[in-house]
Amino acid sequence: MRCGVLGDPIAHSLSPVLHRAGYVALGLPWEYDAHRVAAGGLAQFVAGLDASWRGLSLTMPLKREAVALADSLSEPARLCGAANTLLLGEAGISGDNTDIPGAVAALADRGITAVRSATILGGGATATSVGLALADLGATEVRLLVREPSRAAATATALAAHPRSPRVLVEELATAAVTGDVVVSTIPASAQGGDVVTRCAGRSAVFEVVYDPWPTPLAAAALRRGQVLVSGLDLLVHQAAAQFELFTGLRAPLAVLRDAGERALVERG
């Protein structure tokens, strides 16, 4: 059986490392590779797959594009309007979003099981997933700080449609205050200038979804300040474990996946 991770860029992805480690641990003769697929190219890639393919992990910019290809969607994927997982089978293609439960589990690993309010830097598909996870944990207000407010419209709509109906504010990344219990960063390390990092200083916890390069400026500052830090690897491990179980039907060896990811990041320096 074959699986893979798709996106652009994709060379940095640790997903092959994690999934392959799980296959080895459970003695599965499966393959998992990374494939560079640009925006607009997902349908063509899927059309070229044969019956040996079982599942696809999706990263930017394909998560929202994947929804249109799915014959059925899980409730998390439907609510999010984005799928990071496509399960391929005789009955068709089903879409799911393991980022949402993955984010809940990553926060719980660091002792965060309830949230009142939060600020998210960025407004793309990952911001949507983590925002919905925060609403699951009780957040009644979520602020989205973005460079172009109009591009966060889909995320704001999805968060507001959560059953808890959180208040959603969309503001300018360059000037708006960072408030709430948790600040989540979904923006690249290159966009984390000194002013952005400084404005995040007062939060009790930082959730940095980027794991390469590591540490990002925001993560490094959180470590210096003693803030609770939830890492991109924390999220990656939990969402990958959920995908592993969807693809294989077997319980994921979570500790094996985490160890493999940590070793890979150390090797990358």
Statement: residue 203 has pLDDT above 90: yes
Q: What is the pLDDT of residue 151?
A: 87
CB–CB of 123/159 below 8 Å?
Answer: no
**What's the CA gap between 68 and 72, in Å, rounded?**
10
pTM: predicted TM-score of the whole model, two decimal places: 0.95
**What's the CA gap between 1 and 52, in Å, rounded?**
5
Q: What is the pLDDT of residue 78?
A: 95
In the chain, % helix, strand, coil (3-state, to 5) comes to: 40, 20, 35
**What's the CA gap between 195 and 54, in Å, rounded?**
45
Domain edges within the chain: 2-97+233-268, 101-230
Q: What is the pLDDT of residue 269?
A: 80
**What's the CA gap between 135 and 162, in Å, rounded?**
7
In tens, the pLDDT along 204-248 reads 999 999 999 999 999 999 999 999 999 999 999 999 999 999 999
34-38, 138-142, 146-150: which range is least confident on average? 146-150
Q: What is the pLDDT of residue 72?
A: 97
The tokens describing 1, both together, are 């059986």
Determine the 3-state secondary structure of 91 from DSSP.
coil
Statement: residue 84 has pLDDT above 90: yes
Backbone φ, ψ for residue 219 (5° rounding):
-65, -40
Q: What is the CATH number of domain 101-230?
A: 3.40.50.720
**Catalytic position from the list 19, 20, 54, 63:** 63
Decide: residue 86, CB within 10 A, 0-12 exposed, 13-18 middle, 19+ buried.
buried
**What's the CA gap between 59 and 7, in Å, rounded?**
5
Could you tell me which of 135, 108, 98 has the C-alpha nearest to residue 207? Answer: 108
What's the average model confidence in pLDDT over 82-99? 96
- For the question of residue 63 being annotated catalytic, the response is yes
What's the average model confidence in pLDDT over 145-159? 94
The tokens describing 121, both together, are 């830097």
CB–CB of 117/180 below 8 Å?
Answer: yes
Determine the 3-state secondary structure of 54 from DSSP.
strand
The beta strands (E) that lie in 11-166 are given as 31-36, 53-58, 72-73, 85-89, 92-96, 117-121, 141-146
* CATH fold of the domain at 2-97+233-268: Rossmann fold (3.40.50)
* Side chain identity, residue 137: L
**Which strands make up the sheet holding 2-7, listed edge to edge?**
31-36, 2-7, 53-58, 85-89, 92-96, 72-73
